[in-house]
Amino acid sequence: MIENDIYSILLGISTLLTFLLIIFIARMKNRQQIHYAFFSLISSLFIWNLSILTQKYIQDNGLQKNISDVIQTMLEQLYFVGVTFVSISLLFTGIIFALTRIRFTKRYLLLFIIPIISLLMIFTNNYHHLFIVKYSLMSSEIIYGAYFIVHTIYSYLCILVGLYFLVYFSIKNSGFFTKQSMLIFWGTLIPFLVDTLSTFKIVDAPVYIENIAISVAIVCYFFAIIKFNFLNVIPVALQKVVDHISDSFIVLNNHLEIIDYNKSFIDTFDNIFDIKRKADFKMTLNHSRNLKIDSEEFIKHINDAIKIRSSVIFEKHIFSDTFDKHFSIEITPLLLESKPKFTSKILAKKDNAVILGIIILFKDITQSVRDLIIIKEKQAILIEQERLASLGQLIGGIAHNLKTPIMSISGGIEALKDLTYEYRDSIDDKSVTEQDHKEIAREMLSWLDRIKPYCSYMSDVISAVKGQAVQMNASTTLKFTVDELVKRVNLLLKHELKKYLCILNMDIQIDLGTEIKGEVNNLVQVFDNIIINSMQAYEGKNGTIDLTVIRSGDNVEFTFKDYGKGIPKLVADKLFKEMITTKGKNGTGLGMYMSYSTIKGRFGGNMSFTSKEDIGTTFFVSIPCITYSNREAG
């Protein structure tokens, strides 16, 4: 009696749970296919439970005589309808759980043939008894018809396939030891054990023990599918997702054996590697088809990732006679976080984490590498064009500047020539005194003294131009003084300043003998570029440019200030980051971009600026100077 009451309570709870789940899912918004499939499953189970619960209530209370045969038959039919649809609903729940969404094509509709035949057999059973001969609430007393064997085999196939999909893809998507997988595992095991015990009559139990067991399973599935989040999480077929990832990956276990990989990996390396699960990763690399790859390098990076318990990223050029690709390879150890308080000493590893395996991600960067090479080649051409354009502008100014000394030297030569003729004619002239000879000599020396500065000036100009004509990557000197730098800037910009009607005010508050490490011509080109931009900011009007040089610690600070139109904010935000110009077709945008790179890369300094439109712009250049301490260290 007590046992019967327990069955009744459990059956009642089972029926109530399925009813509550029906209401819950029916009130959900934005339902997906998995929700409809699950709704069908629990609805079928509810019909099955309700018919059994009603029949048991009638039997326990001796109401059989008060119930007509028609109602009794209907209850029996509801029982088998529920049984029939539970199996097919479970099958589709498993399929949709695995695939996320399906289209009901002919192959899926064919699955309903046996259930439809079963329904026909159920509702016409009184005429042929092919489905069931004798019905009872005790499984040992039921006598089944001939067709029931077909129905049972098909139902169990549906149940097994549905359970397989649920368990397999839950483990595949989330891992075996996740809460979702464990719920589905136990939800599968419980009804399977109960059904086995009942079918083989190991335990003589009523038929509704299966309802109770399956209801427990359904509740487990429900919470497993929603991951304790009320069906907001839609199950996704993980294998389909990873197969659509464009990057290739391969998963290794702790013994560096291949345990999984995606479709992209096969597509990328199919003609290179013989990819097999459980194969040794190092052996797979070594037995690649004519591929030049260092397996030891991979193993080293894997060991490094395991050691630091974090990702290791490196670039690798993998090539053979028929394969040539560049990859960014990321090696990441898969960690299982654990707390020593609740784990064994074996699992309580360093950092409270156990390494479960390693995932190696191959990101194909071949096109990026090739594009970078093209960009560098084009950039080198642009830089050379900018240098030649700057040099052409420089030579034009120098040519103009050289006209004055050349004309002066030419005039001096003519004067010396006249004095030479005069001196020659005076040799035999008795009227020419010694004092006259000395006067001629004095005038000759005077003209030579006038010519000498012009020659020196021309020599300096030629040296400066020659230095600027040298390739930027050619270093002719290791150091230079501030004095040498200032003189070259002055010399090379003299013509440009006159052309743009500008004045360069220099305030040198530093020892001119202060030395700077590097190639002076590179820095001259940077300063020329800054000053020319400042001159052009006045747009043809008279202007002033202030250059201040001071010492700040171990650095020489250069400040260039103009009072021109300033730099637009849109340009200012990108000035050092990319090639941009305000000069339209007359500018390349390389000037300031390369100047910044030169200061940072060649001199280890820093370059910045402030600018306000219609007020002016100030550039700040800071460069380390050679001190006594680092001079001795060098």
* Alpha carbon distance 47, 85 (integer Å): 10
Give residue 67's region: left, alpha or beta (phi > 0; psi -120 to 50).
Answer: beta
Residue 266 and residue 158 in one domain:
no
Residue 558 and residue 480 in one domain:
yes
* Alpha carbon distance 485, 524 (integer Å): 7
Residue 94 and residue 173 in one domain:
yes
Residue 224 and residue 328 in one domain:
no
* Residue reference for tokens 């609740």: 342
Count of C-beta atoms within a 10 Å radius of residue 339: 9
State whether residue 96 is helix, strand or coil. Answer: helix
CATH number for the domain that contains residue 201: 1.20.1070.10
Question: Any idea what DSSP says for residue 139?
Answer: G
* Residue reference for tokens 């109602």: 71
The dihedral formed by the CA atoms of 252, 256, 258 and 259, expressed in degrees to the nearest 10: -50
Please check whether residue 239 is in contact with residue 80, taking contact to mean a CB–CB distance below 8 angstroms.
no
State whether residue 395 is helix, strand or coil. Answer: helix
* Alpha carbon distance 182, 179 (integer Å): 5
Quote the radius of gyration of the chain (alpha carbons, Å): 46
Residue 429 and residue 528 in one domain:
no
Which of 69, 76, 28, 70 shows the shortest CA–CA distance to 50?
Answer: 76
- Domain count for the chain: 4
Distances (CA, A) of 103 to 33, 96, 107, 196: 10, 10, 10, 34
Question: Any idea what DSSP says for residue 528?
Answer: H
Count of C-beta atoms within a 10 Å radius of residue 367: 10
pLDDT computed for residue 349 by the predictor: 45
| Separation of CA 62 from chain center | 72
Please check whether residue 22 is in contact with residue 42, taking contact to mean a CB–CB distance below 8 angstroms.
yes
Please check whether residue 447 is in contact with residue 440, taking contact to mean a CB–CB distance below 8 angstroms.
no
CATH number for the domain that contains residue 509: 3.30.565.10
Residue 339 and residue 434 in one domain:
no
* Alpha carbon distance 27, 15 (integer Å): 19
* Alpha carbon distance 97, 100 (integer Å): 5
Give the tokens for residue 217.
Answer: 């399973």
Residue 611 and residue 497 in one domain:
yes
Task: Kindly state the helix (H) or strand (E) to which residue 320 belongs, with its residue range.
Answer: strand 312-320
* Alpha carbon distance 591, 587 (integer Å): 9
Residues in Cβ contact with 111 at an 8 Å cutoff, skipping those fewer than 6 apart: 88, 91, 158
* Neighbouring C-alpha atoms within 13 Å toward the C-beta of 81: 17
Single residue among 338, 364, 390 that ends a domain in this structure? 364
Residue 232 and residue 258 in one domain:
no
* Alpha carbon distance 164, 598 (integer Å): 65
CATH number for the domain that contains residue 359: 3.30.450.20
Single residue among 364, 383, 399 that ends a domain in this structure? 364
State whether residue 423 is helix, strand or coil. Answer: helix
Domain that holds residue 398: 368-469
- Rounded to two decimals, the pTM is 0.44
Residue 233 and residue 251 in one domain:
no
Residue 8 and residue 157 in one domain:
yes
pLDDT computed for residue 75 by the predictor: 84
Q: Is 369 exposed, middle or buried (0-12, 13-18, 19+ CB in 10 A)?
A: middle
Single residue among 207, 237, 267 that ends a domain in this structure? 237
Beta strands 543-552 and 502-509 are: parallel
Q: 529-562 burial by CB neighbour count: b if 16+ within 10 A, else e?
A: bbbbbbbbbbeeeebebbbbbeeeeebbbbebbb
Please check whether residue 125 is in contact with residue 70, taking contact to mean a CB–CB distance below 8 angstroms.
no
Residue 231 and residue 262 in one domain:
no
Low-confidence spans in the chain with pLDDT less than 50: 228-236, 338-350, 471-476, 584-589, 632-634
Q: Give percent helix, percent strand, percent coil of the chain, each to the nearest 5.
A: 60, 15, 25
Residue 356 and residue 372 in one domain:
no
